Amino acid sequence: MSKPSYDVVIAGAGIVGTACAAELSESGLRVAVVEPKMVGGGATAAGMGHLAVMDDSPDQFALTRYSQLLWKALVPELPDDAEYLPCGSLWIAADDFEMAEVHRKFAYYRDRNVPVEVLDSQSLAEAEPNLRPGMAGALLMSDDSVVYSPNAARYLAEKAKRYGADFRLHQSLTSFTKNYAHLSNGTILNTEWILLANGTAAANLVPGLQMQPRKGHLLITDRYPGFVNHQLIELGYLKSAHSVSTDSVAFNVQPRRTGQLLIGSSRQYGTNNPAVESAMLSKMLARAVEYMPNIGTLQSIRTWTGFRAATPDKLPLIGPHPDFDHLYLATGHEGLGISTSLATAKILADQLLHRSPSIAFAPYLPARVMQHA
């Protein structure tokens, strides 16, 4: 049989698909990317673009920190319109109970060489004067940053093209068999591997994949430079992000380089309806006002929703499908896909090219969430 035209056909040109396209094509593979809409127009356009390190589990920490260091290395080549902002994050403790968590996190990160600092009540008030007075303190994570993810995805797509990747927009992957990718316009691409980086839609192509959409709302304001200086997240966010059944909101505000503020965040299961829900939005904004009383006086420009691809254990799916050696997955990133896109791409390249892995990839293998017939 003749050599396939492509080594890998990637479904999806969000931040994950474009990161994979850039990494795999730079590594010498022949790559095609299939995308029905536009580059970076899915969950990637709906997200906040917070490049964060998290420690819900050792495996989440390993992936987020590795990816954060990859983002830092990428910064010098990012275009200005990627709006990279090294603002750091502040995890806000409202009371002494949450302050104990600040100290626990501080020790965890310090022991793993992540730059981190504890702010007491007064230092926090000086760092963020628009917070309500009397907060207990905060954890400052100075390596965290912010990026405008649709433009970062566009940059990664351009980079992939420079290394020879072939982008096929306005077409979707409809089905596949060993060595063949079938597209919606009838084209059949001959390929060694298929990589599903199509976010929540991957579940439509892989029976038994345990992943569900988790809706989120965001609001962007007019320009108020200096109103907030860091990405601000309440420590209670962890409770809401961990909940696997109930709807939840948390105080989460981000400064943009434009001077605008992004206000989040909400999490909902059990709906595919993208409509902005005024009840959920009101709840989210009420939480923001609780933490920042003057935020309610700012002018809103736009609100929108998006869907996170949520797995049962909150870790993404990166690697081969257990039953089909030609099929790979790069999805299930929930609320951290922008943060972890670059690490995802490295891990896939390590797997496909049999390189020695930069971090252990066993915790992210898809087999753990597959229901077998």
Cα-Cα end-to-end distance for the chain? 32
**Is the peptide bond between 265 and the residue preceding it cis, with omega within 30 degrees of 0?**
yes
> To 10 degrees, what angle do helices 337-352 and 15-26 make?
30
Q: Which residues of the shown chain bind ligand FAD in the complex (CB under 6 A)?
A: 11-17, 34-37, 41-44, 46-50, 172-173, 197-199, 201, 216, 218, 306-308, 331, 333, 335-339
Which lies closer to ligand FAD via its Cβ, residue 140 or residue 338? Answer: 338
CA–CA separation, 104 and 210 (whole Å): 32
d(CA 59, CA 362): 10
The structure tokens listed for 133 are 């007075």
The minimum distance between CB 97 and ligand FAD, in angstroms, equals 26
Candidates 189, 245, 133, 198; CA nearest to 4 is 189
Closest separation between CB of residue 176 and ligand FAD, Å?
A: 10
Q: Kindly tell me the sign of the dihedral angle through the C-alpha atoms of 273, 276, 279, 281.
A: positive
Compute the least distance from the CB of residue 189 to ligand FAD, in Å: 12
Nearest distance from residue 226's CB to ligand FAD, in Å? Answer: 21
Closer of 97 and 304 to ligand FAD (Cβ): 304
Element holding 139 (H helix, E strand)? strand 137-141
CB of 312 to ligand FAD, least distance (A): 16
Residues 73, 76, 82, 87, CA torsion sign: positive
- Which one, 27 or 268, has the nearer CB to ligand FAD? 268
Cα separation, 154 vs 15, whole angstroms: 8
Q: CA 366, CA 243: separation in Å to the nearest integer?
A: 22
The residue among 118 and 265 lying less far from ligand FAD, judged by its C-beta, is 265
Could you give the 3-state DSSP secondary structure of residue 43? helix
Which of 37/368 has CB closer to ligand FAD?
Answer: 37
253 DSSP β-pair partners? 232, 263
* Angstrom distance (rounded) from CA 247 to CA 203: 22
Q: How far is the CB of 13 from ligand FAD (least distance, A)?
A: 5
Compare residues 27 and 331 and give the one whose CB is closer to ligand FAD.
331
Q: How far is the CB of 118 from ligand FAD (least distance, A)?
A: 23
- Is 48 or 352 the residue whose CB approaches ligand FAD more closely? 48
